[in-house]
Structure 1
Amino acid sequence: MTLQHLILMRHGETDWNAEARLQGHRDVALNAVGRRQAVAAAPSVAALAPQVIVSSDLSRARSTAAPVAELSGLEVAVDRRLRETSMGLWEGLTRAEVVAGWPGQWERWRATSAHNSPPEGESRWQVAARANGVVDELDAGDVERALLVAHGGLIVGLTGLLLDLPEDSWATLIGIGNCHWVVLHRFMGAWRLHSYNAGLGGVVLAGGEEELAGA
């Protein structure tokens, strides 16, 4: 095991984020706000001194990684395993539309087991497991500090998995704000949480629990 520091950064805002519309695997680009967020956050993330940057293949993540890479002098590797949760039949819909169309399912998915999933979509556990494959490969190399630029639902699940939290407790982790990040440090062979939902706006509390996995 070589990794000692892991930074998990969520992409900047998209128009669908602003509309509370579920993106999942849809390739929705950053909007003007998101591009500004990415540039503003880049110096703080670059100061964490990642040695490698790996991004989801979706453009909103790649565009967020680019300013950090430029400041760090690094190339961005792209890995499909860092994609957001597939939201299945819910992709493209707003939360209100899901609640109206699938009575009770939204609340059950948000509040219960990591093994629940949207209709024809992925569970938090499935997403965390595929993302953990990226972490394992980095861990088998010679990198000590890595930055993964990905998506809110993936980051919540991967954080729960790496910290070995009980799966039924993953839903208690609040969502990650746009261009906010999680930092994990390894101590005595186990991951420890250093910071959660950190960013230029501070730790997002008001409404943070409503950040959408799958967005």
Structure 2
Amino acid sequence: MSARRVVLWRHGRTTFNAQERMQGQLDVPLDDVGRAQAGAAAAHLVDLGVGAVVASDLSRAVDTARAFTALTGQDVRTDPALREVFAGRWQGLLGAEIARRWPDEHAAWRRGDDVRPGETGETRAELGERVAAAVARHAGPAEGTLLVVGHGAALKAGLVRLVGLPVQAAGALAGFRNGHWAVLAARGSGWVLEEYNAGPAGAAVGAEG
């Protein structure tokens, strides 16, 4: 069987999100607000007929996924290919500090340009290819709906690649909100976007990454 629908769900808030600090692949846990967001979103997602759950192996994604599986009794598979973008020297820094130290590169990143963040990080093309390949790999054996739990920049880059849009299209999409999700439906040999940034009311918007 192959999944007919994929739900891309961003993790709940962390202290870095609240501070607008770039996380990248640093393993930052959910804060109290993030755990509440995960629980509220999970209560909505249980009605989608999820057949399998896979998450980034970073704790904020795993713990968000577990808020869902606590309601369904399912297992969570983890995959490091679903991790957030590697952002090089930007990881751990406040957005304002990044903008001050790398003004041109940061402005290009915020526009959605395919630049290398933090001098040594992944481009959006590299990120999208990595995440899209992981989603496709897990969707292949899944039945019904596949729930993918990950990170804002990674999920958006993967989504753009999965629906066949150019890398630059990322700049036309708002960042994933904490605890929110997008829904892709299978059509022919590809995917179409059915929903974007759906989620429970009141979830805070964290810094992308």
Normalising by the residue count of structure 1, what TM-score does the alignment of the two structures yield?
Answer: 0.91
Report the 3-state secondary structure (helix = DSSP H, G, I; strand = E; otherwise coil) of the residue aligned with 1:51: strand
Give 1:65's aligned residue: 65
Give 2:172's aligned residue: 172
Report the 3-state secondary structure (helix = DSSP H, G, I; strand = E; otherwise coil) of the residue aligned with 2:30: coil
Structure 2 vs 1, CA of residues 112 and 181 (structure 1 numbering), >3 Å: closer, same or farther?
closer
Task: Map 1:13-52; keep pairs closer than 5 Å.
Answer: 13-52=13-52
Report the 3-state secondary structure (helix = DSSP H, G, I; strand = E; otherwise coil) of the residue aligned with 1:47: helix
Paired letter, 2:207: L
Structure 1 residue ranges, 4+ long, deviating more than 6 angstroms after superposition:
none
Identity of aligned residues (%): 37
Unaligned 5+ residue runs, structure 2?
Answer: none
Q: Distance in 1 between matches of 2:142 and 2:71?
A: 22
RMSD: 1.8
Structure 2 vs 1, CA of residues 29 and 169 (structure 1 numbering), >3 Å: closer, same or farther?
same
Report the 3-state secondary structure (helix = DSSP H, G, I; strand = E; otherwise coil) of the residue aligned with 1:77: strand
Unaligned 5+ residue runs, structure 1?
Answer: none
Task: Map 1:174-213; keep pairs closer than 5 Å.
Answer: 174-201=174-201, 212-213=207-208
Q: Distance in 1 between matches of 2:63 and 2:103?
A: 36
Contact residue 11 and residue 64 of structure 1 kept, 8 A: yes
Task: Map 1:87-166; keep pairs closer than 5 Å.
Answer: 87-113=87-113, 115-118=114-117, 119-166=119-166
- The more displaced of 15-24 and 180-189 is 180-189
Contact residue 154 and residue 213 of structure 1 kept, 8 A: no
Q: Distance in 2 between matches of 1:139 and 1:30?
A: 27
Report the 3-state secondary structure (helix = DSSP H, G, I; strand = E; otherwise coil) of the residue aligned with 2:153: helix
Contact residue 152 and residue 213 of structure 1 kept, 8 A: yes
Paired letter, 2:208: A
